[in-house]
Amino acid sequence: MSATLTAPALDGAQVKRASRLPRLLSLTSVAVAVGLAVSMLVESNTVMSLLTQAVIYAVFALGLGFLLKQNGMVSFGHALFFGLSGYLVGVGASLTGSVGTVVVLTIAGIGFFAFALALVIVRVPGIAFGMLTLAIGQSFYVLVSKSRGVTGGADGMSIEFPPRVFGLEIGAFQDPASMFLISWLALVALVLALSLLLGTRFGPLTEAIRENEERVRFIGFRTLLPRAVVFAISAMVTAVGGALSALYTGFVSPESLHWSVSGTVLIMVVLGGSRTLWGPAVGAVVYYLFRDYVGEHTTHWMGIFGVSLIAVIVLWPAGIAGGVMHAVERIKRGSGRHA
Amino acid sequence: MKTRRITNLLAAAVLAVASGASLAQAKEPIRIGMVTSQSGGFTAQGEDSLRGMQFAVDEANASGGVAGRRIEVQIGDDESTPEGGRRVAEKFARSGYNLLVGPIASSISLALGQNLQRWDALYVSTLSKSDRITGDSCNMRMFQANHSDAMDLAIVQPWLKDNAKEKRFAILANDYIWGRDSAESFTKAAQKLGKEVELSVFAPIGTKDFAPYIAQLKNSGAEAVWVALVGRDLIAFAKQAAEFGLTTSKRIIGHAYIMSFVVKATDSATDGVWGVLNYAPEIDTPRNKALVAAWRKKFGRDPSENEVAGYSGIQVIVQGVEKADSVKPTAVASALSGATLDTVWGPAVMRAEDHQLVKPNYVGRVKRVGGELRPVIETAFEASIATPAPTTCKL
Amino acid sequence: MTMTYALEAKGLSVRYGGVTANDGVSMRIAPGEIRGLIGPNGAGKSTFIDALSGRRATAAGSVHLAGRDITALGVVERRLLGLSRSFQRTSIFPGMRIGAQMELAASKIPDADADEVMRELGLDRFADRHANEIGYGDQRRLDIALALVGRPSVLLLDEPMAGLSIEESMKLARHLRELARHWGVSVLLVEHDMEVVFGISDSITVLETGKLLAEGAPAEIRAHPKVREAYLGSAA
Amino acid sequence: MIGLQILNGLVYGSLLMIVASGLVLIYGLRRVVNFAHGSLFMLGAYIAYAAAQQFGFWVGLVAAVSVLAAVGFCLDRFGFRLLQDRDPLTVMLVTFGLLLVFEDVVQSVWGKQSYSLAAPESLAGTVELFGSPFPVYRLVIVAAGLAVAAALVGWLRHSRVGLFIRGASTDPVTTAMQGVNTDRLSGGVVAVGAALAGLAGVVSGPFLSLSPTMGSDILIDSFVVVVIGGLGSFAGAFVAAMILGQVQALGAVYLPDLAALLPFALMTAVLVWRPSGLSGSRT
């Protein structure tokens, strides 16, 4: 007993971390297997292209959800990072043949930009922060719509990609079946990376900041930097989504920076549930499938979607992921009691 | 008793469907994907053009189809965004409805154009106006059935020369690429004729209160104002210009201004406004006369320019299929390229160099005709003047 | 003779919105001393703690921790130098497991032992529970536990007994004594429960309308005529 | 010219103020950021349009305001009250869902085309101001804005209800502890907030056009006003609405290239300077 008491806190944490890793890795391999299975089993190109879109937006939602989960902050301006990433990849591709480098530089650049921005804006509290991000995002929307030359203004920009990107033929990025797999693997890798990051002290620290920022300072941590880092990571994940979208569609337009895009993705996040990393991704897929299905049968999809959104939010405050987790826990507890 | 009647009805229905099916089986149906704006900023135009497209399809099917083929359609909402348009169009194209038509915003048309090869589809633009559709973004599978911006601007100078006594002009345009281009072209045209543009003001898209701009226009020494605003901004401006008495103190000339949906949405605010006019029911061609008569019979009014644009888009596809005797997009595309089509504007060539439909254009004025306010053609310009030569397109 | 005080405030003034909440308050607390801070509502006790802990800017005066001037330092630096506090309205991390938040609090301070503090305050059995799942009294103790991690040299407690049962209050009082005796922690205790304050404090400071009214051993304060008039008379 | 432009700014500022004060009322009492506010604005305009077709502008105005008050009451009774313990983001997204529903309803009933609501005959025409004819109706908007501001100030300053509202806006917990029945109060307050949105919709009808997206257009401007003013502050919202009106009017003339960015730039600048808005404290 006394032996464990000498340094129990650290040991406990290490034990927990050690037991997390194999579980994470096995979940990751299951996720990869699911992706492979879907890409092989789904024959319809229509369904495949829908799923590809959904997964690209799932990456976007993952980024926005990460901000909400670790920072408790709502951004109405994340489309900025999504759209800007697409434009940077597009402009970069027109300047150099090495699109892989361009994509990496774009994501890093957006990370720096978001970090610097966050240092200024994260002090703004609550809903005003949301409105501030909206204002910044809309400013860029206006700038890109107005600008001529490289971005093509309101007409959007077609991107001419070189024949090979990241060592793959460009066709692989533009065919739904293969692009689904690429996006899916990116999504899984990002979820894994973020999970590992949250397994370090960064996880509880940012969680604590979200819960009670002032108290965190009174236990001896500065809070500005971690919050800015969360914002930057969130922007970078979103930027990965933007780059995937640009690769897949070969087209970017100012509309991809519009606040309504941020709003839609925020709905995906809340629909899926922001208490887990994977919740927002589930939300994105459900949103796409739902809209496709309802949109096919009625022109009133907006109203139906509005009603469903309200119903889900009211009935399942923790979103779909929260509902699923709750059900799983009940089953576990139930079987535990019987055993 | 009741049951038997229903059974009889059912039997009849089955028979009808079966006979229809046997007809269609003769040849593959024409599958058209209508991608249009049912929500977002272009909803009103979307509804109009959809009515026109639907009318053309019904008309063709009612007369037994096109060369033995029935037309089947899928209708989807592009939400007024390229992303939405691309998603719907891809879905349609991949499920066989690969003859596409319908979007309003040029950005959506350009986003579709980009993907036609990949989807094995063909696209006829009916309401977009960007010159890039037949310029640097042109391609084998994309056709411009609408009047392009270049066409609308090409008639400005000849019209000004013979019809405008005013010496000094002012410009109000939306502050983005289309508005700026329009303003620039107008300025050039005016200056070539020795006229002056005293003031150019640019309002952001989404401007609700135009009073600050109207005050500047009124204060300028201009005798006439060239206006290039889009959709909702235009409607707000039209009402406010009338409210401030701008419409009566200076001649207003619009780039895409005198359109039925604007006239209808603004009471009498557009009375007396001049502008480029792409279509009016009085166009004297057999095809147009037939259309107007049929339209009046069904709706009890004349068709609007957006409705006719939609209608004409379907006409282009139908005639392409007839000429190719195939519904394969590549076959239809090569049949259309360079072909002479029968349109409401008379016979018109689908120019092989850039896939622009070569047709006449008009300047008109909003007037009361039989108690109803509508745009009326004042001056017509034949196709050779109205359609500038191909520019950067290489097909 | 010069003595190094654990905490020293010199002429501290705090103003906000035209109101002078603290007006030139000076105070010295020796190592291992428990100092009671009392005064009627609105006397500026919480403001004083806010000013000492760096939560509120001071208009005049200085704060010294173990002889070092910390007036210009922020909240974080003061905590890392050993000046810690609890809150009047419980300030914890509701959605986090108690073990995890204690561990986090310990991670910034060398040799801090979260588990031991949890045991001392009877929180160890809740380590795997979320903070919003435990009772109010336990949450109050968690607030203090978060402040205690790493054995700060000075602990500022803003009404720690509020909402606790008599039994819990007594237990906490005993624990504070022990902290002061064995670990040499100096405690500044703002508390409404006079019995507790007079029972455990080594000395007591009385504030009234932001100004120092009296200072001395519990017995002196009890006998102080001005204090009786201003405060105890009505309360006791 | 500059006098005229300031007057123009005053007109748009007054309109924004009417919309924004409704938002502030609802936020103040319920802590709800009401995304459906723009659709209430739109609904007001459409209802007035429908009624005005038959019975004229004034009946339309009364109809719109009363229907919207009823809608607001129901919104609180069957929405916000049941959700008051939920986190603000959840409630905000519920109002987002309502926005979608309202837009769909309006499209289903009135179709997608734009309509025009004519100003009443008695208020048509122009008067000579600053050497140029100025529409009488626009002066009426300014008057309406002033009337709404005066009525709100009077109500909040001098009535018991007003005292409670001010209390609840600054500190809902304390007010609730002091035995104020927030629930009973808020039905009425949200009704007034919604009615103000409806009123603004009707008032704007004659110079904007009616379309199913008119709500989203005004929503952003109103949010900018409310956030610049400091959430939940009436005085802040009044000032911010007037500033924004002036910025748009004068920006259009003196900084035309930046006109589209000015509202956002203003908001960013204010929030970076004072994170809680004009009326908020500096901390």
Interchain CB distance below 8 Å, D271 and A263: no
Question: What is d(CA B131, CA B151) in angstroms, rounded to the nearest whole number?
Answer: 9
CB B265 within 8 A of CB B25: no
CA distance to A10, B212, B214, B263, per residue, from B207 (Å)? 60, 11, 12, 19
Contacts of D102 in chain B (CB under 8 A): none
- Smallest CA–CA separation between C73 and chain A, in Å? 13
- Band (pLDDT 50/70/90 cuts) for residue A8 is very low
Which residues does residue B203 pair with via DSSP β-bridges, in sequence order?
B174
CB B37 within 8 A of CB B105: yes
- Band (pLDDT 50/70/90 cuts) for residue A150 is confident
Question: What is d(CA D121, CA A253) in angstroms, rounded to the nearest whole number?
Answer: 45
DSSP helix/strand/coil, C135: coil
Q: Is residue C68 part of a domain?
A: no
In B116-130, which positions are buried (b, 16+ CB within 10 angstroms) versus exposed (e)? bebbebbbbbbbbbb
Give the residue, B161 or C163, on which the prediction is more confident: B161
Question: What is d(CA B336, CA B395) in angstroms, rounded to the nearest whole number?
Answer: 13
B152-277+363-386: CATH architecture: 3-Layer(aba) Sandwich (3.40)
From C55, C93, C147, residue closest to A212, measured CB to CB: C93
Nearest C-alpha neighbor of A116 from the set A206, A225, A239:
A225
Task: Report the residue of B243, B259, B261, B266 to disrupt the D interface, i.e. the one with the largest count of D CBs within 10 Å.
Answer: B243
Residue with tokens 């105890």: C232
Tens-digit pLDDT profile for residues C165-214: 888 888 889 888 988 888 889 999 998 888 889 999 999 999 988 899 99
Instruction: Tell me: pLDDT of A2 over 50.
Output: no
Instruction: Tell me: pLDDT of A13 over 80.
Output: no
Instruction: Tell me: pLDDT of C236 over 60.
Output: no
DSSP string, D186-198: HHHHHHHHHHHHH
% of chain B with per-residue pLDDT over 90: 67
Contacts of D104 in chain A (CB under 8 A): 300, 302-303, 306
Question: What is d(CA B186, CA B178) in angstroms, rounded to the nearest whole number?
Answer: 12
pLDDT at D171: 61
Task: Report the residue of C55, C73, C108 to disrupt the A interface, i.e. the one with the largest count of A CBs within 10 Å.
Answer: C108
Q: Which two tokens stand for residue A32?
A: 């990869």
> Average pLDDT for residues B79-106, to the nearest whole number?
91
Instruction: Tell me: pLDDT of B380 over 90.
Output: yes
Enumerate chain B positions whose Cβ falls within 8 A of a Cβ in A.
38-39, 76-77, 81-83, 86-87, 90-91, 94-95, 106-107, 110-111, 114-115, 118, 130, 132, 137, 175-178, 180, 204-205
Give the residue, A12 or B326, on which the prediction is more confident: B326
Instruction: Tell me: pLDDT of C7 over 80.
Output: yes
Domain count of chain C? Answer: 1
* Other residues' Cβ atoms within 10 Å of the Cβ of residue B371: 5
Q: Which two tokens stand for residue D167?
A: 């209390």
Q: Using only the alpha carbons of chain B, give its radius of gyration.
A: 22
Give me the amino acid identity at D268.
T
pLDDT at A6: 36
Query: What are the start-end ranges of the E strands in B130-195?
Result: 142-144, 168-174
CB B305 within 8 A of CB B254: no
CA distance to B128, B312, C30, C69, per residue, from C154 (Å)? 73, 84, 10, 15
Half-sphere exposure of A178 (CA within 13 A, CB side): 10
Tens-digit pLDDT profile for residues A107-128: 999 999 999 999 999 988 888 8
Nearest C-alpha neighbor of B316 from the set B293, B294, B339, B295:
B339
Tens-digit pLDDT profile for residues D52-105: 989 999 999 999 999 999 999 999 988 888 888 888 888 888 998 999 999 889
Q: Is D187 exposed, middle or buried (0-12, 13-18, 19+ CB in 10 A)?
A: middle
Tens-digit pLDDT profile for residues A190-241: 999 999 999 999 999 999 999 999 999 999 999 999 999 999 999 999 999 9
Instruction: Tell me: pLDDT of D282 over 80.
Output: no
> Average pLDDT for residues B53-74, to the nearest whole number?
93
Tens-digit pLDDT profile for residues B242-299: 989 898 889 999 999 999 889 988 888 899 999 999 999 999 999 999 999 999 999 9
- Smallest CA–CA separation between C224 and chain A, in Å? 36
Contacts of B50 in chain D (CB under 8 A): none
Interchain CB distance below 8 Å, A221 and C108: yes
Give me the amino acid identity at A15.
V
Report how far Cα C99 is from the mean position of its chain's Cα atoms.
Answer: 23
- Smallest CA–CA separation between A246 and chain B, in Å? 11
CB D175 within 8 A of CB D168: yes
Interchain CB distance below 8 Å, C116 and A5: yes
Interchain CB distance below 8 Å, C104 and A9: no
> Average pLDDT for residues C28-35, to the nearest whole number?
94
The distance in angstroms from the start CA to the end CA of chain A is: 30
What residue segments make up the domains of chain D, in order of their start?
A: 2-273
pLDDT at D172: 57
- Smallest CA–CA separation between B247 and chain D, in Å? 13
The distance in angstroms from the start CA to the end CA of chain B is: 67
Q: Is B149 exposed, middle or buried (0-12, 13-18, 19+ CB in 10 A)?
A: buried
Tens-digit pLDDT profile for residues A41-92: 888 888 898 999 999 999 999 999 999 999 988 999 999 999 999 999 999 9
Tens-digit pLDDT profile for residues A275-332: 899 999 999 999 999 888 887 777 788 889 899 889 888 888 888 888 888 888 888 7
Instruction: Tell me: pLDDT of B338 over 90.
Output: yes
- Smallest CA–CA separation between B106 and chain A, in Å? 6
Half-sphere exposure of A31 (CA within 13 A, CB side): 20
CB A76 within 8 A of CB A131: yes
CB A250 within 8 A of CB A111: no
| CATH of segment(s) D2-273 | 1.10.3470
Half-sphere exposure of B266 (CA within 13 A, CB side): 32
Helix H or strand E segment including B294: helix B286-299
Nearest C-alpha neighbor of D182 from the set D43, D30, D32, D79:
D30
Interchain CB distance below 8 Å, D93 and A302: no
From A146, A155, A261, residue closest to B110, measured CB to CB: A155
Q: Is residue C138 part of a domain?
A: yes
From A127, A135, A306, residue closest to D98, measured CB to CB: A306
Q: What is the CATH number of the domain that holds C220?
A: 3.40.50.300
CB B125 within 8 A of CB B309: no
DSSP helix/strand/coil, C214: strand
pTM: 0.88
> Average pLDDT for residues B108-126, to the nearest whole number?
93
pLDDT at C2: 58
Question: What is d(CA C12, CA B93) in angstroms, rounded to the nearest whole number?
Answer: 76
> Average pLDDT for residues D199-206, to the nearest whole number?
92
| CATH of segment(s) B26-147+283-359 | 3.40.50.2300
CB D187 within 8 A of CB D77: yes
pLDDT at C235: 47
Question: What is d(CA B63, CA C25) in angstroms, rounded to the nearest whole number?
Answer: 98
> Average pLDDT for residues B326-345, to the nearest whole number?
95
Considering Cα of A304, then A306, then A309, then A314, what sign does the dihedral take? negative
pLDDT at C1: 44
pLDDT at D173: 58
CA angle C184, C186, C188 (to 5 degrees): 160
Q: Which two tokens stand for residue D151?
A: 């009525």
In B5-31, which positions are buried (b, 16+ CB within 10 angstroms) versus exposed (e)? eeeeeeeeeeeeeeeeeeeeeebebbb
Question: What is d(CA C213, CA D93) in angstroms, rounded to the nearest whole number?
Answer: 53
Give chains near B: 3+ CB pairs under 8 A.
A, D
- Band (pLDDT 50/70/90 cuts) for residue C231 is low
DSSP helix/strand/coil, B226: strand
Instruction: Tell me: pLDDT of D258 over 90.
Output: no
pLDDT at A12: 45
Instruction: Tell me: pLDDT of B311 over 90.
Output: yes
Question: What is d(CA A158, CA A218) in angstroms, rounded to the nearest whole number?
Answer: 52
Interchain CB distance below 8 Å, D257 and B202: yes
Residues in chain C, how many?
A: 236
Question: What is d(CA C83, CA A198) in angstroms, rounded to the nearest whole number?
Answer: 29
